[in-house]
Amino acid sequence: MERVLCVDDDASLLQLYHDELTEEGYTVILAKDGKEALKKLEKEAPEIVVMDIRMPNMDGIETLTAMLGKNRQIPVILNTAFPQYRDNFMTWGAEAYVIKSSDLTELKKKIREVLDKRKTK
Amino acid sequence: MATKVVAMILAGGKGERLYPLTQDRAKPAVPFGGIYRIIDFTLSNCLNSGIRQIHLLTQYKSLSLNRHIIQGWIHYFNGELGEYINLIPAQQRVGEDWYLGTADAIYQNIYVLQMDRPALVLILSGDHIYKMNYQDMIAYHRERQADLTVAVIEMPKHLSRHFGVLQVNEDFRITGFQEKPEVPQTIPGQPDWILCNMGVYVFNTETLVRRVIEDAKDPHSAHDFGKNVIPAMVAQDRVYAYSFRDENKKTSKYWRDIGTLDAYYEASMDLVSVDPEFNLYDRDWPIRTYQPHYPPAKTVFFEDGGTGRTGGAYNSLISSGCIISGGKVFRSILSPGVRINSYAEACDSILMDGVNVGRRARLNRVIVDKDVKIPEGFQIGYDLKEDAKQFTVTESGIVVISKGTILE
């Protein structure tokens, strides 16, 4: 089963990701900020990361930056309510960019796309 | 409005093959031509090309370089007009590493581009000596609608294993890239010549950012423009070669990477020849630097019609503040404040700031770093075996005496 690491400081959102993505057949790993995410990346070796940008301790962009060159090029989908982050050059290191919503249709579609693209590579 | 161009100058080179001149300073801060530092040539190119937004990326032993920039260069840039020269040391903003390679140096400073938002980024090396109007290259880049333009210089084929060699089609679009090849691809129609990468790049900012991030993701990359980023771009982006137009205006184009002590010595000695390849005297292309105020150079003594104790210099560059008192200087470069004492002789040598050559001492093909005192009667450069016990002696027999050496 493909493992998805979801990173968000909002516990209720993490619960939502967990329930809906498990239903889709993924193994879901959760982290509440960047620091925890980096630890889980090492331990659990997920195939993909879905990450919020604004988080305490270590935000999504710092985490993304810390991942580059390590972690065997695990793709990251940035998931945020603030579209102005698209202008931040560092977000260009992400594989995809999704506007945050409680409707996960778009996010699920992107996860599938990114994983399929990886497989065909 | 003109296109906004920001220059990023890579000035972190350790210059290991220039040791011991780089014992206490980064390669761009190594003195050259009496009063200059190597970085002055690139910075003068920027000023003479109207590039007035500059980030200088430093890392190793940057104190000497920083001081030189602050004393000599900052005042040329007017902050009120949005001009600047920024010194950016490796800050470990994005990790715990120093710059791993040229592309990593840019990657680690993407935040700088994010603040400036230039349309184009001019990437330069702080290690090279040449004269180039970057505006010509920028115009060429825009004309070709290129993503990246690489400045190239034609070199004889047998030098290929020292350079990055580019292959181009008839439009000068780059089709291939070889790093230091034994068997190079030559220029179409010119089987004895190759196109060499000068380490001068014009990038569209967006392409630059995307490609250095991609490169940063690749754990197998050496994070170098020449080795990794450009070869990867050739297949997917519009990458063009720009044949370097030399502002030096001599018959052959001048561009030197002062990589080794012998290359350093040779490029320096060119300056004291009758008609140097590299012209320091072109008033249309001034080379600026920092020099402290010294009194004029002076010669002392002329005894017995020049046959006795006589101070003089022949075929040499003599900087301000030098006193040649009763000794002789032939084909040498004297930085400011050098003193040559009676009956002493310096031939084919490079003496840096504050060097003092004692009475009856003789120097032949010697590079003496700052403030070293050559004691009375010393002879250096006449017995290389003996010299090698104490000093660095290069392949071609140049003796190098490092800063802080105490001779007795």
Q: Where are the domains of chain B?
A: 5-271, 298-401
CB contact under 8 A, A69 and B209: no
Q: Which residues pair with B128 in a beta bridge?
A: B257
- d(Cα B145, Cα B147) in Å, to the nearest integer? 7
CB of A49 closer than 8 Å to CB of A83: no
Dihedral sign, Cα of residue B216, residue B222, residue B223, residue B226: negative
Q: What is the CATH number of domain B298-401?
A: 2.160.10.10
Q: Distance (Å, rounded) from C-alpha B384 to C-alpha B314? A: 25
Q: Is B399 exposed, middle or buried (0-12, 13-18, 19+ CB in 10 A)?
A: buried
Interface test with A, best of B207, B213, B215, B218 (most A CBs within 10 A): B213
Per-residue model confidence as pLDDT tens for chain B (408 residues): 578 999 999 998 788 899 999 999 999 999 999 999 999 999 999 999 999 999 999 987 888 999 999 999 999 999 999 999 999 988 765 565 678 899 999 999 999 999 889 999 999 999 999 999 999 999 999 999 999 999 999 999 999 998 999 999 989 999 999 989 999 999 988 999 999 999 999 999 999 999 999 999 888 899 999 999 999 999 999 999 999 989 988 888 999 998 899 999 999 999 999 999 999 999 999 999 999 999 999 999 999 988 889 999 999 999 999 999 999 999 999 999 999 999 999 999 999 999 999 999 999 999 999 999 999 999 999 999 999 999 999 999 999 999 999 998
Select from B113, B114, B217 the Cβ nearest to the Cβ of A68: B217
Residues in A whose CB is inside 8 Å of some CB of B read 65-66, 68-70, 72-73, 88-90, 92-93
Q: Please tell me the number of Cα atoms within 13 Å of B131 on its side-chain side.
A: 21
Q: Do A89 and B217 touch (CB under 8 A)?
A: no
Q: How many angstroms separate the Cα of B232 from the Cα of each of A74, B211, B224, B335? A: 20, 9, 11, 45
Which chain A residue has its CA at the smallest distance from B114's CA?
A89
Partner-chain contact A73 B219, CB within 8 Å: yes
Q: Is A49 helix (H, G, I), strand (E, B) or coil?
A: strand
Residue of chain B minimizing CA distance to A86: B114
Reference A57, options A72, A38, A43, A44; nearest CA is: A38
Per DSSP, helices labelled H in B240-391 are: 261-271, 384-388
Contact residues of B toward A, CB < 8 A: 94-95, 110-111, 113-114, 209-210, 213, 216-219
Q: How far apart are CA B309 and CA B307, in angstroms?
A: 7
Q: Which CATH class is domain B5-271?
A: alpha beta
In a mutational test of the A interface, the residue from B104, B217, B220 whose CB has the highest number of chain A CBs within 10 Å is: B217
Interchain pair A65, B95: CB under 8 A: yes
> SS3 for B213-276, per residue?
HHHHHCCCCCCCHHHHHHHHHHHHCCEEEEECCECCCCCCCCEEECCCHHHHHHHHHHHCCCCC
- On whether the CB atoms of residues A29 and A46 are closer than 8 A, the answer is yes
The span from the CA of B290 to the CA of B65, in Å, is 11
Closest alpha carbon within chain B to A88: B114
Residues in contact with B67: Cβ distance below 8 Å, sequence separation at least 6, in sequence order: none
> What is the distance between the alpha carbons of residues B352 and B367, in angstroms, rounded to a whole number?
8
Q: What is the pLDDT of residue B94?
A: 58
With a cut of 60, say whether residue A38 has pLDDT above it: yes
Does residue B41 contact residue B129 with C-beta atoms inside 8 Å? yes
Tell me which DSSP letter residue B117 carries. -
Nearest to A92 among B95, B213, B218 (CB): B213
Q: Are A93 and B216 a contacting pair at CB < 8 A?
A: yes
Give the A:B interface size as CB pairs under 8 Å: 35
**Do A92 and B209 make contact, defined as CB atoms within 8 angstroms?**
yes
Model-level pTM? 0.91
From residue A97, alpha-carbon distances to B337, B403, B408 in Å are 62, 55, 69
How high is the ipTM of this complex?
0.82
**Domains of chain A with CATH codes:** 1-47 (3.40.50.2300)
